[in-house]
Amino acid sequence: MAELLSHVLFAYALFTVASWRLEWLSKRWVPVAVVGAILPDLNRIGLLLGEPTIEAALGVPFSFDAIHTFGGVLVLSGIGAIAFDRRRLLAYGILVAGALSHLLVDALKLYADGSAAAWLYPVTWYRHPSPNLYVSSDSGVLAVAGVLALSVWLIDRYRVDTTKQSP
Amino acid sequence: MDRRRRLAVGFILSLALLGLCVHYGATSDESWPHPTGDQLAENQDEYVGERVLLFGDVQTIGDGTITIHVTDDDGDVAAELEVRNVEPDNDLDPGGFVQVYGVLETESTTSLDGYMDAEELVVVNQSPDATLYKHVVSAIGGLLAAGFFLRHWRIDYRQLRFEPRDETPSRSSGSGDNGDSNSGATNEREGVNTRG
């Protein structure tokens, strides 16, 4: 996976641009999509809690990596969506969309055997061919994400100023 | 939906997530087409002669070779392997992390558990510094996302929910910075949505 900052910046750029076109996607929902983009990486909680400890406590196999999959983000987004005071269906859709942006960026990552991670679980364990574009520590990914997000932010500011000036 | 009902739905969804994590943990090793550290530790001979993808921590760097530790779920060393056919100009340091794809072979003449001729070697982290870079940058990403979210939403601790910071449509005063202007535009559009 790319590091989390790149995912956050990509999601910001993607959903800000989408907000220019989609009337219902107002500015306050862009950060919801950005939070959605960090959901798959909550599997890192396993580094802190220790999966063997949880397996020993539950008595069954256990892996937080389920969170970093299609099924995992569908369920986790549901938990997030019920925390909103209203428009929970919209919150759910936007959280899922943000999380999918994360999984899709990760689907481009380099694997030595040429196939991406099995992120479509539980629909399928299929590993589709990966274009092998980057490794997770590649600072070039962050550079691209940063330039993209900065460009979108500047254009967004310009758009807001133009909107204010127009009658 | 009142607080009690939301908590009930949250509890059910948390159980569903728990079930997903258990199912994933029970089936992922079998569904992954390559041996995991646990499987190597159990029976490495089963995979000798097979083309496998392994992940390993770099221990030593030699002339066209490296040694790696493949670890199990507990973090213990499942296999110590020599990887041959390694390009010398990859800037790898001990403590780095690599993916190796190639045929696993046994090596009885050394203290190693086996060796692989790397058909593909991917340097994920060149050194421990690369790992630190990822963690630091990821932490910044998490903080940025949280700050961005809390700029537009606040937490109602009593009701355990998020609500928009500016609920009612308001006209931008024009004296604030661009963030305020943004909020003004947001409110106007949100107001339209609410009325719609």
pLDDT at res. A41: 95
What's residue A160's pLDDT?
72
Residues B46 and B118 in one domain: yes
pLDDT of residue B113: 80
CA end-to-end distance (rounded Å), chain B: 21
Q: Please indicate, yes or no, whether residues B122 and B49 belong to a single structural domain of this protein.
A: yes
Gyration radius (Cα) of chain B, Å: 26
Q: How many domains does chain B have?
A: 3
B162 in contact with chain A, both atoms CB, cutoff 8 A: yes
For position B98, which CATH number holds? 2.40.50.140
Residues B49 and B19 in one domain: no
The residue ranges of chain B whose pLDDT is under 50 are 169-196
Q: Is the minimum CB–CB distance between A96 and chain B shorter than 8 Å?
A: no
For residues B143 and B178, state if they share a domain: yes
Based on the fold, state whether residues B42 and B121 are members of the same structural domain: yes
pLDDT by residue (tens digit) across A53-99?
Answer: 899 999 999 999 999 999 999 999 999 999 998 899 999 999 999 99
> Within this chain, do residues B160 and B102 fall inside the same structural domain, yes or no?
no
With beta carbons less than 8 A apart as the criterion, state whether A110 and B122 touch: yes
B3 vs B189: CA distance, rounded Å: 28
Neighbouring residues of A20: CB distance < 8 A, sequence distance ≥ 6? A156, A159
Give me the amino acid identity at B196: G
CB < 8 Å from A in window 37-96 of B: 53, 73-74
**Greater confidence, A132 or B177?**
A132
pLDDT of A1 reads 52
Q: Does B13 touch chain A (CB under 8 A)?
A: yes
Q: What is the pTM of this model?
A: 0.86
| Same domain, yes or no: B89 and B141 | no
Q: Which A residues 33-62 touch B at CB under 8 Å? A: 34-35, 37-38, 41, 44, 51-52, 55, 58, 60-62
pLDDT at A49: 82
Domain ranges of chain A: 4-165
**Upper half-sphere CA count for residue A46 (Cβ side, 13 Å):** 19
Domain hosting residue B41, numbered range:
37-126
What pLDDT, on the 0 to 100 scale, is given for residue B3? 82
B186 and chain A: CB distance < 8 Å anywhere? yes
CB contact under 8 A, A135 and B161: no
pLDDT of residue B182: 41
Q: Are residues B24 and B42 in the same domain?
A: no
Domain boundary among B126, B152, B178: B126
Contact partners, residue B12, CB within 8 Å, separation at least 6: none
Q: Of B75, B102, B126, at which residue does a domain stop?
A: B126
The reported pLDDT for the residue numbered B23 is: 97
Residues B44 and B115 in one domain: yes
Q: Which of B7, B9, B13 to mutate to test the interface with A (most CBs of A within 10 A)?
A: B13
| B83 contacts in chain A (CB < 8 Å) | none
| pLDDT for position B1 | 67
* B78 shares a domain with B100: yes
pLDDT digits (tens, 9 = 90+) for B107-149: 766 677 888 989 999 999 988 888 888 899 999 999 999 999 9
B46 & B95 share domain: yes
Q: Which of A51, A84, A112 sits opposite B100 (nearest CB)?
A: A112
Residues B120 and B48 occupy one common structural domain: yes
Across-strand partners of B156? B161
**Average pLDDT of chain A?**
93
What would the mean pLDDT of A21-36 be, rounded to a whole number?
A: 95
